[in-house]
Amino acid sequence: MMAEKKKCRTQERIGVYPGSFDPLTNGHLDVIRRASKLFDKLIVGVLVNDSKKNPLFTMEERVALIKKATAGIPNVEVGSFKGLLVDFVKENNAVAIVKGLRAVSDYEYELQMAALNRHIDSDIDTIFLMADIQNSFLSSSVVKELAWHGGNIDGLVPDEIKEDIVRSINRLRSGSSES
């Protein structure tokens, strides 16, 4: 019994924060900062979401942007995956999935996903972190829409990646006006 307890204390506690992060917002970054305090290592898992068409950034670009924005958080790593989240969690020896919640509608969906993931692997827990009230309206879709129409995205996205987002939107906007 004592040997088991000692083993648990020395085992690295790893969490996974999954999402498409297209683009990363200050709401995402807030969850990353807070979750990084709960784990020895937090892996931000950038997923290929086939249901989301026309991404602003490629998978590789999203990973690079998140690395840039989280460079000052020493226990955060960024990876990418396609397929089941549970498989990515197991491959990384993680013990929990971290999900940020903005509203009741997020909770209803995320509760279903947490139950499904728990059904698939009962050793994996899901931790919900409520969005800071200043970020409760914030989503990647809102940021893209605002930027597309020339709105100011200051304070909505990490300063380190703001220009990357504006540049990508401008590139898309100029490409769509040619067609």
Residues tagged active-site: 28, 52, 102, 140
Look up tokens 């690295």; give the residue: 12
Task: Kindly state the tokens that stand for 172.
Answer: 């898309």
**What is the distance between the alpha carbons of residues 87 and 22, in angstroms, rounded to a whole number?**
22
Phi-psi region of 151 (alpha: psi -120 to 50; beta: other; left: phi over 0): beta
Q: DSSP labels for 122-164?
A: TT-EEEEEEPPGGGTT--HHHHHHHHHTT---TTTS-HHHHHH
